[in-house]
Amino acid sequence: MYHSHRMELFACRASEDFAHKVISHLNALTPDNDNPLHLGELVTTPFSDGEFQPQFEESVRGATVFILQSTIPPADNLMELLLAIDAAKRASADKVIAVMPYFGWARQDRKDRPRVAIGAKLVANLLRAAGADRVMTCDLHADQIQGFFDIPVDHIYASKVFIPYILNRNFENLAIAAPDMGGAKRANSYAKALQTPVIICHKTRERANVVGSITAIGDVEGKNVIIVDDMIDTAGTLCMAAKVLKDKGAQSVRACATHGLLSGSAISRIHDSQLEEVFITDSIPHPELANDPKIRIVSMTEVFAKIIHKVYNYESISSDFIF
């Protein structure tokens, strides 16, 4: 069964390269199509005071509109997405689907201290208020964030690309490690899929982005360890965990994380660490890492294209999820 409304795909400024690749994969899924998809023209006009205004340069009336944007810092990227959703709704789009390879503010998913905001819930409310009918995203910091939404959420997992990538590398004596207790579930899922043992790193924090100490629990001696996580921010935890694992006898330590925020001195910290390689996805653009000696980028664009294609055509997407 195919959708009665045409598909239109646009990208805000932070995810234009990602969107171009998604379009290529979408057109490959329908090779006999006489009217190949193109990336719609969405122009964002800046004002001198920092304000900006997105405008669709083509009609979206009656269309199913997919708007791609990772809400990485700064907050402008979220605001641009919200304004684009609002513009599409006011231009009489039939449905507006926010495609967010990286969902910012996902770490603020609970009140873990007095008098703090729950940022993930606020962003969910803002997307709904702007007019989004559906959200598509990848590796939320916590699965329960899906429950913050009153609209459907397609939660895609990077394991769809990372598991085959790791298997193709044919690592011997492989072990999967969680960088902290919060990542134990994810590490266990990877270990189950790869049939490897699990190592858990227990860390204490002095304050946000500052790690106090880390200890490793599990059989590390002689193992080629891959630390799995949902994101790398300052890389402080990751590099400290790599050192602890090497000190305990690991043969090699690598890392695999969906979202490479890589803020501050994260890249130089990774280069100076005992990590042999770091695998990230292209959910956040890093053109400067194209030829990096340590950091490898694994693309999620084909996975997103397949999910967009199936959602648009009302097809089941359950078979496209690993965990």
Active-site positions read: 203
| Residue 239: closest CA among 220, 200, 267, 261 | 267
- Give the Cα separation of 53 and 56 in Å (integer): 10
Q: Where are the alpha helices (DSSP H) in the chain?
A: 16-29, 76-90, 119-130, 159-169, 184-194, 236-247, 266-271, 301-312
Only one residue has tokens 């959602």, namely: 311
- Give the Cα separation of 314 and 3 in Å (integer): 7
Give the pairing type, strands 95-100 and 134-138. Answer: parallel
Burial (CB count <10 Å: 0-12, 13-18, 19+), residue 298: middle
Q: Which residues contact 200 (CB under 8 A, 6 or more apart)?
A: 177, 178, 181, 184, 187, 216, 217, 218
